[in-house]
Amino acid sequence: MKKSPWVLLLFILVGGLLGGILGEILRVMAPAGMIQSFFSTAITPGITPPLTIDLILVKFTVGFILKMNLLTFLGIFLGIYLYKQA
């Protein structure tokens, strides 16, 4: 059976989303200390401030930020692993 790259993308997105949500829950619920700082430290690559192109008639604003913590990466890897196992 041939595996679709769209299904892989779906597994990666869902794994990353669930990992990010779990990371945010852990950030809020964990007591302050080493565990909270370790799991809640995130990298945020993106376009900051957003790029704005003003063409008088139309104004475009483009920007994005990815907020990824350790559990987001673990979720992505788990999604890839589950995709390969299916």
Tokens 């673990």 locate to: 74
Residue 28's domain spans which residues?
5-67
Give every residue of the chain whose pLDDT is below 50, as ranges: none
The per-residue pLDDT for 29 is 86
Tell me, yes or no, whether 61 lies in a domain: yes
The per-residue pLDDT for 1 is 60
**Residues 44/67, Cβ–Cβ less than 8 Å:** yes
Q: How many domains does the chain have?
A: 1
The per-residue pLDDT for 30 is 79
Q: What are phi and psi of 23, to 5 degrees?
A: -65, -40
Tell me, yes or no, whether 11 lies in a domain: yes
Tokens at residue 77, please?
Answer: 């890897």
Predicted structure pTM score: 0.79
Smallest CA-to-CA distance from 68 within 30, 9, 24, 3 is with: 24
Tell me, yes or no, whether 33 lies in a domain: yes
